[in-house]
Amino acid sequence: MSDQEYYSEDSEEEILIEIKEVTLTKNELLYLSDSITLLMEHASEHGRVHMPARQLMPSAGVPVPVDLIQTIGLGVLIATDPINVSQEATLSFNLADLYLLRECCQSFIKINNELVGYNLLRKIYKVILSDSMEERAFIDKLTTGIDFSLKNSLEMTKFKDLEKLKEQQDDTTK
């Protein structure tokens, strides 16, 4: 393994453990809770075998570590607390967990007239891709008002004139 590969794996691992906060609604948390199952590690002769703790039900499609189940469970308790008027919970997830939660999301899922799947996908992608979106917004701001098309530009006219000149020279040399 080259040094470059080693460092890129390290930086990828560092990125995946970066902690981000996400505010989720009661319906989103209940949906996530129903969509995940506990991932158990069982030792085998040739290493570790990862398997879900129970038979996967259609609603429990993604096996996840126990700490992620606890985080979602805490969110459910916070969001469903009768004194919590907003019925929301702000939770901290590392990026690896957010990628796992993304696997649960189906954009067409609706609970109590809330587009839970769609909203979760947007929230998760917004957090995962926040750096990319900030860079894109910065580039868009820098390039606002710049015409990148070559139509009708002076450079395009000069280029066409040069092409014609070259064609004329080629015709005279033949």
pTM: 0.66
Total domain count for the chain?
1
Query: What value does the mean pLDDT of the chain take?
Result: 80
pLDDT digits (tens, 9 = 90+) for 117-127: 999 999 999 99
Q: Does some domain include residue 22?
A: yes
Q: Does some domain include residue 142?
A: no
Percentage of the chain surpassing pLDDT 90? 45
Q: Does some domain include residue 163?
A: no
Q: Does some domain include residue 10?
A: yes
Q: Does some domain include residue 50?
A: yes
Q: Does some domain include residue 35?
A: yes
In this structure, which long-range contacts are made by residues 78-81, counting pairs with CB atoms below 8 Å and at least 24 apart in sequence?
79/24, 79/25, 79/26, 79/29, 80/26
What mean pLDDT do residues 38-48 have?
Answer: 61
pLDDT digits (tens, 9 = 90+) for 2-25: 445 544 555 667 778 889 999 999
Q: What order do you get walking across the sheet with 62-64 strand by strand?
A: 47-52, 36-44, 62-64
Q: Does the pLDDT of residue 152 top 60, yes or no?
A: no
Domain containing 21: what range?
3-134
pLDDT at 56: 47
pLDDT at 135: 80
Q: Does some domain include residue 156?
A: no
What mean pLDDT do residues 148-155 have?
Answer: 61
Higher pLDDT, 106 or 2: 106
